[in-house]
Amino acid sequence: MKKYTHLLLTFMLLFSFGFASNKDAENQSLVRNEMKFYSDHIIDTTEVINDRIRIIGGDLFVYGETNNTIMVLGGDVTIGATAIINSEIVVMGGTVQIHEGAVVTGKIKEANLNEGLVYREIFTDSAQTKKHTIFELKNKSEWLRKGWIHPNYNFFVYNRNEGARLTFFNHDYDHGDRSPFRLSISTAYRTAPNDFSGRISFEKSFFKNRFFILYASAFKEAVSDDEYRLKEAENTLTSFFARQDFYDRWDEQGWELGFALDLNRLKVKVFTSDAQQDSIPVDYSMWSLSEKNRTLRSNPHVQYQSTVGSYKGTLAFQSEKYHPLKTGYSLLLQGEAYQKTDDGDNVYWLNKNGINTSDLRKRLLIMTRLHWEFSPGLVLRNQMLLGLSNGRLHPFRKFGIGGIGSVSAYPYKTQIGDHMIQSNVEFIMTPNFTDGDLFFKLFYDTGIAFDSDAFFIQSDDLNKRSSSFISSVGFGIGTESDDGIGIGFNVAKPLDGSDYLETTVRFNFNF
């Protein structure tokens, strides 16, 4: 019986071979060549094979790209992590091994006689895997779906400036992510100013995996330079429960035009914008669950309600499978150049009315994060922030040091200047190490903000200001969640000789 089963299987597979060949002849009439091998064969990473491949009595190792049918009789197929398979693979009397990272857009037929009678057909999601390019990107990066071009607005945001911001409409139109064009619309209502805000963006992506994007946006929204301190969702919780808001904001209304490169783990975005800037008043009647009598901070004042033109650029990089509790690193650069204020007519335009580029106010923020899991469950994390400018920033655009997300146990933005240096270090013992349900951590924060006319920080100037650094230490515990730390409790003490202790509840990592 086994003999007849093998014969039947052989007949079925030979029929599949013939059917695939006929299908190739119909659909790829221009490709007539076929390569036959009677021993092991390797397709190198630099090779692109457009011919049919037939191997008898040998194994095939694929590390490059194939665009036609592969048929192997009496051998195994190994598809390496760098391989791109845009065709059907039929294997008789052997197995197929696919390494993680390989791109397979076709169907795999495998008949393995060594394990008895095993016949497999594997289908892949061609809609996702076909988006590779000369950069050898495996698929379209998820970063673009999470607000790289069009911000990913939270449905509910609560703070001292906007009150409750409800994003009641937030949708993308792109034919189910199959079209190179995308229209994104977000509309929100803000209770404190009693108005509407939102953004509309139109994108056009290019090339196989859409790694190059041109876009245009029109917007009216609140803007802040303090996103790095803590996530907006966590800031909403602190506002709602404890009447505390850790963002400074101003309103902008205008348009922007630019391009972006999505190179998987590396992102680049460059754009120009023209926006009217205005102050946002503080809603002193802001409701909270507790601390109802806490005094709210004032908001930075935009002295002149003006239309500001600027050039902006962002570069972001993350190591593969980046996670706060695993070994990895990330880099963020945000640069901007905008014109200085013309106090005479309250209106100033970029490179108009004789304004020279030497008069531009330049602002650069550099942020690096390095995580090192030096032993299972033991993680050392470090964050470095460097703020640079040419010493002519508008007052509401200056850098601030102190407070949550900066240097703990100090007042919020206790130091403000055209330059900033900040470092945060923490040592985390995860539940994998403690064999429990809690995280334990020790942390150290330090930083300084100051004014200087030089764009780059001078070492001599820094030595003179060394005594102005503020620092703090602390410890914390936290519960585990799917993303790492859930609810955390921190205690911090400033290293200025005082006996002051600060206790904070966090709903995320310290950074």
Q: To which residue do tokens 């391989």 refer?
A: 83
* 314 φ/ψ angles, rounded to the nearest 5 degrees: -135, 135
Q: Residue range 257-261: average pLDDT?
A: 95
pLDDT recorded at residue 462: 81
> Which candidate, 366, 301, 358, places its Cα nearest to that of 331?
366
Q: What band does 342 get if pLDDT is binned at 50, 70 and 90?
A: very low
- Provide the residue ranges of all domains of the chain, joining segments of one domain with +: 2-129, 142-279, 311-511
Residue 129 binned pLDDT confidence (cut-offs 50, 70, 90): very low
Rounded to whole angstroms, the Cα distance separating 125 from 127 reads 5
402: pLDDT strictly greater than 50? yes
* 363, pLDDT greater than 80: yes
Separation in Å, CA 82 to CA 44, 98, 137, 287: 10, 10, 10, 56
Q: Is the pTM of this model over 0.85?
A: no
Mean pLDDT along residues 156-161 = 96
Q: Quick one: pLDDT at residue 403?
A: 94
Residue 26's pLDDT is: 42
Taking the C-alpha atoms of residue 449 and residue 117, their distance in angstroms, rounded to an integer, is 71
How does strand 96-98 pair with strand 118-123?
unpaired
* Least confident residue range of 63-72, 81-90, 144-153: 144-153
Q: What is the CATH number of domain 311-511?
A: 2.40.160.50
pLDDT-derived band at 442 (thresholds 50, 70, 90) equals: very high
Is a pLDDT exceeding 50 seen at residue 14? Answer: no
Short-list 370, 432, 363, CA closest to 395: 363
Instruction: Identify the helix (H) or strand (E) that includes residue 7.
Output: helix 2-27
What mean pLDDT is reported for the chain? Answer: 83
Structural contact between residues 225 and 236, judged by C-beta atoms closer than 8 angstroms: no
How far apart, in whole angstroms, are the C-alpha atoms of residue 378 and residue 435? 12
